[in-house]
Amino acid sequence: MTTTNITKLDLKSADTFLTALYILVFVVGLVLNLCGMKCLVHNWKKLRIINILVLNLGVADMLYLLTHPFLIVYYINKNEWTFGDGLCKVTRFCFNLNLYGSIGFLTCISVYRYLVIVHPLRVMGRLTMTQSVVISVVMWVLASVISFPDMSFPKDSMNSGACYDTTDSENIEEYLIYSLCWTFIGFCIPFIVIVCCYGHVILVVCRSNMMNVNQKQQILKLLVFLILMFLFCYAPFHVSKNLNLYSRVLTKLGKRPTWNNVVFKARHVSFGLVSLNSAVNPLVYLCVSEDVGAQCRQLLQQMFSCCFKLKSRSEPVPQTEKEALSAL
């Protein structure tokens, strides 16, 4: 089998994988985010500061989820983008905005939990709703600053009909530098902050005699969730993305690396994993507030019960043998 055939086979498998995953993420993410945001809005009068950050996290997810139908059509059409270059760049911008916006808001949530748990007396009465809104605006601005340069890079190679998530081969060196810079600023620094915050939180929670078991579990749930998010969604994406860009630079210089095909496959798998964050982020609703979490679970149960009732009503009622004969 030639290299060309292998590449075509890999592309076909990757497109099938991403199409199925995007459909799943779109449906599940839309339902969970709508439920979570509805519960937050319902409790708006008694919202705490952290819930403002969680609400913004949901808005970032919704912006990206609304672009999924276009991406699904794109991969079904075998990487043929039919919606124009402008919408292509907007779609890729929304992805980056969601990615770095989510990382930013998750980092803010972690810092807030750290301050409340480790330094409760120092922050008591000093953290206000206004500050939370200002922090949210700053996070949106920073995520936009990281994402906007991506739109300046071409997303199509000589009108091939593609919609690259990075750029074409002519600008690959500049894009690699851009990617490495924002990987450090948008991923590495927040990850270090989260690890440091929760490392200290673990020590305080384990030594505390003032917290009951439920309170400790609530804190540790969010800790475990965020660490897993970074390790399985964000970290593989950034590592494989930069390795893939470096591989393309070497290939352009005529030095095609032997590990190119492995990185190519890992890149597509990681792209699917990072898209899961829009469907998994709503779990934060369950971790940061017991009231909102309970309402979300209740709302989901009501939705599922309604779906089952509609399904049972749409199914034909089986007739007995006597009823069937009388109907003839």
Average pLDDT score over residue span 144-151: 93
Banded pLDDT at 298 (limits 50, 70, 90) = low
316 in a domain, yes or no? no
DSSP symbols for 191-221: HHHHHHHHHHHHHHHHH-SSS-HHHHHHHHH
CATH of the domain at 112: 1.20.1070.10
211 in a domain, yes or no? yes
Residue (of 64, 62, 66, 140) closest to 101 by Cα position? 140
Banded pLDDT at 299 (limits 50, 70, 90) = low
83 in a domain, yes or no? yes
Banded pLDDT at 1 (limits 50, 70, 90) = very low
- Cα dihedral sign, 3-242-282-220: positive
Lowest pLDDT segment from 39-48, 76-85, 314-323:
314-323
Q: What is the pTM of this model?
A: 0.84
The more confidently predicted of residues 253 and 14 is: 253
pLDDT single digits (tens) 70-124: 999 998 888 889 898 899 999 999 999 999 999 999 999 889 888 888 888 887 7
**Residue 288 half-sphere exposure toward CB, CA atoms < 13 A:** 28
Tokens describing residue 259: 């590990």
User: What's residue 215's pLDDT?
Assistant: 74
Banded pLDDT at 296 (limits 50, 70, 90) = low
Cα–Cα distances in angstroms (integers) from residue 130 to residues 7, 125, 135, 200, in the given order: 53, 12, 9, 27
323 in a domain, yes or no? no
235 in a domain, yes or no? yes
How far is it, in rounded angstroms, from Cα 12 to Cα 15? 5
321 in a domain, yes or no? no
The more confidently predicted of residues 21 and 42 is: 21
pLDDT over threshold 90, residue 281: no
Average pLDDT score over residue span 27-40: 83
328 in a domain, yes or no? no
**Residue 125 Rama label (left phi>0; alpha psi -120 to 50; beta):** left
How far is it, in rounded angstroms, from Cα 12 to Cα 273? 18
Angle at 277 between CA 103 and CA 311, to 5 degrees: 150
Residue (of 52, 218, 45) closest to 127 by Cα position? 52
Coil vs helix vs strand at 170: helix
pLDDT single digits (tens) 164-186: 899 988 999 999 999 999 999 99
How far is it, in rounded angstroms, from Cα 230 to Cα 278? 13
How far is it, in rounded angstroms, from Cα 122 to Cα 155? 49
pLDDT over threshold 80, residue 190: yes
15 in a domain, yes or no? yes
User: What's residue 89's pLDDT?
Assistant: 92
pLDDT over threshold 70, residue 316: no
Residue (of 314, 90, 115, 137) closest to 200 by Cα position? 115
Banded pLDDT at 308 (limits 50, 70, 90) = low
How far is it, in rounded angstroms, from Cα 210 to Cα 125? 21
Q: How many domains does the chain contain in total?
A: 1
pLDDT over threshold 50, residue 5: no
Q: Which domain holds residue 250?
A: 11-153+165-301
Q: Are 228 and 277 in contact (CB under 8 A)?
A: no
- Cα dihedral sign, 191-192-198-199: positive
Helix axes 172-183 and 235-252, enclosed angle (nearest 10): 160
Coil vs helix vs strand at 125: coil
Average pLDDT score over residue span 180-200: 92
What is the percent of the chain where pLDDT is above 90?
Answer: 32
Cα–Cα distances in angstroms (integers) from residue 12 to residues 6, 31, 77, 167, 219, in the given order: 10, 29, 11, 20, 43
